Structure formats: structure tokens, C-alpha cells
Amino acid sequence: MLVAIHNDDSPETFEEAMNNINDDKWIEVIQDEYNLLLINKTWTFTKYLKEDMQLGANGYFASKLN
């Protein structure tokens, strides 16, 4: 049986993460994720024209309980 446990202390937005008591930890995690995206060449920054279609991106914050 699988059980999901939600930690209500996890921020739901970037702003909440930056205003969280553990903001230094969130910054570290965000930087680690960013570095992995670059290392794995998952995406790169590019310039685009206004008429180009843009794709959105989503992320989420979650605290590990163990």
C-alpha cells in the first residue's frame, strides 16, 4: 500500500520559498536543480522573437520527510 504524506510547511510558490524560514536551503536546492539542467543539457537559454511560440514551465516545492 502506498501512502502520500503532504507536509503543509512546503511552499507552493517561489515567493513563499524565498520568504520561508528555510530560504537558504530552498536557494541551495533550486541552484542544484538548475545546475543539473545545464549539466544534462536538458535546456538552454535562447533569444526569441515576439511571434515565436513559448512553452511554459512548472515546478513545485516539497519537503522530504526522511
Domain boundaries, the chain: 10-66
pLDDT reported for residue 26: 87
pLDDT reported for residue 3: 47
pLDDT reported for residue 39: 92
Which residues, at least 6 apart from 54, have a Cβ–Cβ distance to it below 8 Å? 48
Mean pLDDT of 1-22: 72
Which comes out higher in pLDDT, residue 5 or 10?
10
* pLDDT tens digits, one per residue of 23-51: 898 899 889 988 998 899 887 777 777 77
Which residues, at least 6 apart from 11, have a Cβ–Cβ distance to it below 8 Å? 17, 19, 20, 26, 61
